[in-house]
Amino acid sequence: MIELPESIVLSEQIEQTLAGKTIKNAVANANPHSFAWYAGDPADYGAMLSGKQITGAKSMPDRGMNHCGAVNIGCEDMFLSISTPIKYHEPGGKLPKSHQLLVEFTDGAHISCSVQMWGCMMCCPLSLADHCEKMSKQLPSPLTDAFDEAYFETLWERVKPATSAKAFLATEQRIPGLGNGVLQDILFNARIHPKRKLETMGDEEKGRLFHSVKNTLKEMKDHGGRDTEKDLFNRKGGYMTILSKNTLIHPCRECSSGLIRQAFLGGNNYFCPTCQPMVGK
């Protein structure tokens, strides 16, 4: 999946690059993937989208899930909701040999989606966006004013005290678009170990966690996404990750301790054992 910072960057780039283009054809599920999901029959996507004009992505931020780890692309009376990386191909450019969605425009340009781990590519009538809008109001983006300390407190109170910091932030989509990737720097900036249980944290640590969610995600978005991910034009993001596969070989930038990679809750976790102890300081 794509996570919140990258979904915003992609939405803005699609708005600038694709708005006004007309779809010539669309091919979905050409190369079946076990963890690629579609709405309805992907064989119908061509007929559903052919002749439709791209009406934008950024222009409909609340009518769908583009702030929730997906990009919503308006196509007149249809929309595409995509939660996997999207690549733009100039007219005459080389296209990927394998793809789960390929959209061709009348000017010869294309966009493609090639699922890495898992991803959704939903083509639906625009009328269904009303349902998505209701969902977005129930689960506000952490980059909006609605996601404040009072709302964060309600999320905290709904989980068991023995819930880990990672499980609280990055499972069950309690916080839309916050996944295992962005989690690493959020926890580092809050000085919280991924396995720390909520019941071991006081109000000061809870406050650090809340502000780290807000501030870290904003910084990632403002710098064009993370350096571990790529944008619509296959360029790496400008946010330099603190904890990721790129930094594991280097010492902690704060204390010079060796960084640790450890599997937990279905994904790798990176942390500094000194800056992020299992017990509070």
Please state the domain extents for the chain.
4-136, 149-271
Average pLDDT over residues 115-137: 77
Which contiguous run of DSSP H or E holds residue 193?
Answer: none
What are the backbone angles phi and psi of residue 89, rounded to the nearest 5°? -125, 120
pLDDT tens-digit series, residues 190-201: 999 999 999 999
Superfamily of domain 4-136: MutM-like, N-terminal (3.20.190.10)
| 138/68 Cα distance (integer angstroms) | 12
pLDDT for the residue 140: 86
pLDDT for the residue 58: 53
pLDDT for the residue 65: 41
CATH 3.40.50.1820 assigned to 149-271: no
Residue 208: pLDDT band with limits 50, 70, 90: very high
Please, what is the average pLDDT of the chain?
Answer: 91
47-51, 131-135, 168-172: range with lowest mean pLDDT: 131-135
| 94/65 Cα distance (integer angstroms) | 30
Which contiguous run of DSSP H or E holds residue 184?
Answer: helix 180-190
**Structure-block tokens of residue 42:** 């992907």
8 A C-beta contact, residue 223 and residue 209: no
8 A C-beta contact, residue 201 and residue 162: no
Q: What is the value of pTM for the model shown? A: 0.90
Q: Is the pLDDT of residue 178 over 70?
A: yes
Q: Is the pLDDT of residue 60 over 50?
A: no
Q: Is the pLDDT of residue 66 over 70?
A: no
| 248/43 Cα distance (integer angstroms) | 43
What are the backbone angles phi and psi of residue 157, rounded to the nearest 5°? -70, -20
| 31/157 Cα distance (integer angstroms) | 44
pLDDT for the residue 61: 35
Q: Beta strand pairing status for 268-271 and 260-263?
A: antiparallel
